[in-house]
A and B are shown apart, each in its own frame.
Chain A
Amino acid sequence: MFSRGYKTAVTVPPLAWVAVFLLVPYLLMFCYSFWSVSPSTQTIVHSWNLDNYKELLQKAVYWQTLLRSMWIAARVMLFSLLLGYPLAYFLSFYAGKRKDLLYQMVIIPLWVSYLVRAYAWKTILGSDGVLNTLLQYVHLTNQPLDFLLYSPFAVVLTLTHIYTPFTILPIYAALEHIPRNLVEASHDLGATPAQTFWKIIFPLSIPGVVAGATFAFVLSLGDFLAPLLLGGPSGIMISNIVVSLFGAAYNWPLGAAISLGMLVIVVSLLLFSERLEKKWSFS
């Protein structure tokens, strides 16, 4: 029904835009990662070599920071799932008439400014922040606890706060799509509530869990603002190194090599989780 001209008219402009502003920049990042900075003139030398990758493999600081970032992201993912799954389950099966209201209450923090929320945690966790002064006010402590802010703990806490709603929504959607008569059938055939949950409900919700986990992990892995604001020296993540390489340290090629590494990790995770979801989806 749609003519060739129509199809061309709707296809070419977005295709061209995506090519220029997404595809070319990614390719450029790839090229940059093989270039270098001339030590004498501080300009970028367009000669192709593997030096940046060699440096990444040789210097421990990059590996250690990458591993620390993955460890932070893994904790954020785990805590978000532990907080998010039971809540999604409650919403889907127990919330009754309040379902719609509670669902909106999950969506709202999701769209509240990232910066606003990270800042709020900073004011709560600081040494003269709300939590420390509260603890002293009720005489639980008599001096500020200093591990609260400027630590990996603060980063994990804040990112968990930010990404928990991201895990709730896909899990909730997966739970909502489970035909209720399956659950009833399991019941009628004599399964205990625990059996029904582990044999019917949980397996059918796995695609949602995988989607939520991927979001939490991938987005935390690349975060650089929460570590800058709340992480302190021990909470530095891989993206912070990239930021400094693109800024004061002025080594774009090395920064590009790290970014490309992150891009590869992230895209492989996305493809992997897509396969997992497909494997576990029942429709």
Chain B
Amino acid sequence: MSGPTGNRSRSRWLLAHATAVFAFLYLPIVVLILYSFNGQGVGGFPPHNLTLDWYRTLFADEAIWDSVFYSLKVALAAIAIALGFGIPAALALDRATFPGKALFRRLVLLPLILPGIITGLSLLMLFKLADVRLGLLTIVLGHGTALISVATTEVFAGLQKLDRAQEEASLDLGANYWQTFWRVTVPNLKLPIIGAALLIFTLSMDEIAVSFFLIGRDNTLPLEIWGRLRRGITPEINAVSTIIFLFSLVTIVVWYRLRVRAEGAVEAGAELIAAADSEHS
């Protein structure tokens, strides 16, 4: 417990600060979960009349479940698009030279750092011009496009560590590129690909800023919740939020374990965050 600049009082001060920041980060989540069991509504201290009624209401709420299934559909399609174009994009960045490569790299990563409103609105204009009706298709295209960046960064990082000798051997022994891709490249990139899929899934299930502009008649889960927030709040929203939280928690922990196995702790989160900085990735 003694750091480089470490005397005891400094490390104690840092510990206190860290504790306070963690409290700040987790307090809203704790409050949220706590009040999902509160019989008296979302406000009011202390919480009392603890009950599971809100969860019962939630499980009987068809509109919410419809939006959950809609979101699942969107997320699965977004994974397909993002991996389908993100993996080749990573291969292209790793192995090919072509005019406009630097611009391409920046463009792919841009939706990760750009406020969602810009991605959402620019796509809205495209769909309007092409006369595409807003609905499942437009949301899927929006999510897929915004999340290609995630697939590309994850797979690109995997490729940097890949030993090309295996692919070379496969080609020398007479396999064609297609066989080599499926039997050598993809199995070696299993962890980054699964990791990317998990992240894309979680991000898509949560996405609201892009969907906000591309939504048709049916709501995704976050937009369904958003609509209800505008009408007034009940602990039912806490209940559904608690379930979403537990769900993301499991996904993220699984993702993190995979990532640490693939390349060590520091890189795991920072990589995604630093992804927008194209020169360093």
Contact = CB atoms under 8 A, between A and B. Distances in A.
Partners in one complex: yes
Interface of A: 1-3, 5-7, 9-11, 13-15, 17-18, 20-26, 28-29, 32, 83-84, 86-87, 89-91, 93-94, 96, 99-100, 102-117, 119-124, 126, 128-130, 132-134, 136-137, 161, 164-166, 169-170, 172-173, 176-177, 180, 183-184, 187, 193-194, 196-197, 201, 211-212, 214-215, 218-219, 221-225, 229, 239, 242-243, 246, 252, 255-256, 259, 262-263, 266, 270, 273-274, 277-278, 281
Interface stretch (B51-59, B62-70, B189-197, B236-244): B236-244
Contacts of A124: 27-28, 31
A15 B115 contact: no
**Majority DSSP secondary structure for residues of B touching A:** helix
A107 B45 CA distance: 30
A237 to B, nearest CB: 10
Contacts of B222: 113, 115
Contact of A5 (B46, B100, B177, B244): B177
Interface string B71-96: 00000000000000110110110011
A180 B277 CA distance: 25
Given A18-B104, A161-B28, A196-B5, A120 B274 contact: no
Nearest to B116: A222
B121 A116 contact: no
The 10 tightest CB contacts between A and B, nearest first, are A222-B115, A193-B5, A25-B122, A173-B270, A120-B28, A93-B3, A14-B89, A7-B96, A133-B45, A134-B45
A32 B116 CA distance: 19
Contact of A130 (B7, B24, B45, B213): B45
Contacts of A10: 88-89, 91-92, 95-96
A184 B273 CA distance: 29
A214 B112 CA distance: 13
26 contacts: A2-B95, A10-B92, A14-B86, A14-B108, A25-B126, A83-B21, A87-B22, A90-B17, A90-B18, A100-B260, A105-B26, A108-B252, A119-B237, A120-B29, A123-B31, A123-B233, A124-B31, A193-B10, A211-B273, A224-B209, A225-B226, A229-B229, A255-B121, A266-B114, A266-B118, A277-B277
A123 B238 contact: yes
A94 B206 contact: no
Contacts of A266: 113-115, 118
A119 B273 contact: no
B4 A184 contact: yes
Nearest to A177: B266
Interface string B6-33: 1100110011011001101111110110
A2 B279 CA distance: 24
A120 B4 contact: no
B256 A86 contact: no
B148 A17 contact: yes
B44 interface: yes
Contact of A108 (B1, B17, B249): B249
A105 to B, nearest CB: 6
A183 B3 CA distance: 10
Nearest to B7: A193
A3 B177 CA distance: 9
Interface string B268-281: 11100110110110
Interface centre among A3, A94, A222, A252 (most CB of B within 10 A): A94
B158 to A, nearest CB: 15
Nearest to B114: A266
Nearest to A144: B43
A214 B110 CA distance: 13
Interface centre among A3, A25, A165, A255 (most CB of B within 10 A): A25
A87 B21 contact: yes
Contact of A29 (B32, B121, B203, B267): B121
B8 to A, nearest CB: 11
